[in-house]
Amino acid sequence: MSLSRQDWLLREEAHRERADALTAAHRDRATRAEKHPVWDFLFTYYSYKPAQLRRWHPGAGVELADARERLDWRWYRAGRSADSAVPDAAAFGREKAELASLIEKMLRRTASRPGQFGCFGLHEWAMVYRADEHRHAVPLRLGQAGTDAVVENHDLRCTHFDAFRFFTPEAVPRNRTSLSRDEQPLFEQPGCLHAGMDLYKWATKLGPLIPGDLLLDSFELARDIRLLDMQAAPYDLSAWDVVPVPIETPEGKAEYVRRQRGFADRGAALRTALLNAWLGAGARDAA
């Protein structure tokens, strides 16, 4: 696929406008040094700033005509003419072989498994279980004793290592499975909220190999999941107008699972699209 300069410049501008709209509230808060316990996570944990999010790429194998300025960008190569530029999946694979292998493994293995929908977001509760200090300086909705009781009355079924690693020492042995970094690809499954959010992480790691629309779609999914993640958390976020999903009740559990299934469906489509955009283009180039 080849895009004329006029065409790709229009796409680039549309991407910037969409990215700016998605980050407007965060950038406005940043001017006032104002923190937000829900939304800051998208820019701190994933370490991808608004300026990076607004940078548009066409995706692996797509040739940009009259784009000489991009030949100095990382993981671009010349196309059919000296003035054209193409995001190069093969160069990424050579330079970042270990990362490329991990991303492919995580995407494919997660996609191959059925979703699990019985965790009810209790990972956030396990992070404050019997703790004197909490990751967020926000009151607990049920107080410490009430929060501890919810953990003790439920089966912890977390499958995501990057949530499990923040469990308090007392919560760790309560999880159904002991998780580790090395074994992460063995347990990741598509029902997990954080596996869905991490599609954004993988998209950012792949840089120019991922089309701009897929990058922003993955950001939007991460944003929507993050809201449920914190609505279901033990914190009282009423000061930020966050309405809780009380997973300690049957009604809260039902709402959580309903929305969790919707996110799993969106994540499945994005997971396939990311693999096709990246590895599909690489296969076509090799042929």
Considering only CA atoms, which of 23, 79, 17, 1 is closest in space to residue 219? 23
Confidence of residue 287 (pLDDT cuts 50, 70, 90): very low
Distance CA 234, CA 134 (A): 11
Please report the pLDDT score of residue 284 as a whole number: 52
pLDDT at 136 over 80: no
Residue-level pLDDT at 185: 92
Share above pLDDT 90 across residues of the chain, in percent, rounded to a whole number? 93
Q: Where are the domains of the chain?
A: 35-61+97-286
**So what's the pLDDT on residue 285?**
55
Kindly indicate the confidence band of residue 134, based on its pLDDT and cuts at 50, 70 and 90. Answer: confident
d(CA 83, CA 170) in angstroms, rounded, equals 60
Q: Torsion angle of alpha carbons 241, 247, 249, 253, nearest 10°?
A: 110
What pLDDT band is residue 135 in, cutting at 50, 70 and 90? Answer: confident
Work out the average pLDDT over 50-66.
Answer: 96
Mean pLDDT of 158-182: 96
What does the pLDDT look like over 235-261, one tens digit per residue? 999 999 999 999 999 999 999 999 999
| Bridge partners (DSSP) listed for residue 156 | 175
Neighbours of 104 (CB within 10 A): 16
- CA dihedral in degrees (201, 241, 121, 52; nearest 10)? 0
Confidence of residue 133 (pLDDT cuts 50, 70, 90): confident
pLDDT at 286: 45
Is the pLDDT reported for residue 283 higher than 60? no
Mean pLDDT (the chain, rounded): 95
**Rg (Cα) of the chain, in Å, rounded?**
21
The amino acid occupying position 82 is A
Q: Quick one: tokens of 266?
A: 């969106």
Residue 174's CB is within 10 A of a number of other CB atoms, namely 17
Q: What percent of the chain has pLDDT over 70?
A: 98
Asked whether residue 177 carries a pLDDT value surpassing 90, the answer given is yes
Average pLDDT over residues 103-122: 96
Q: How confident is the model at residue 137 (pLDDT cuts 50, 70, 90)?
A: confident
For the record, the structure tokens of 63 come out as 């040739």
- To which residue do tokens 């079924």 refer? 157
Arithmetic mean of pLDDT, 118-137: 91
Beta-strand runs (E) in 49-187: 63-64, 76-78, 85-87
* DSSP H or E segment with residue 3: strand 2-3
pLDDT computed for residue 282 by the predictor: 54
Residue pair 122/193 in contact (Cβ under 8 Å)? The answer is no
Name which of 44, 56, 57 is nearest 18 in CA terms. Answer: 56
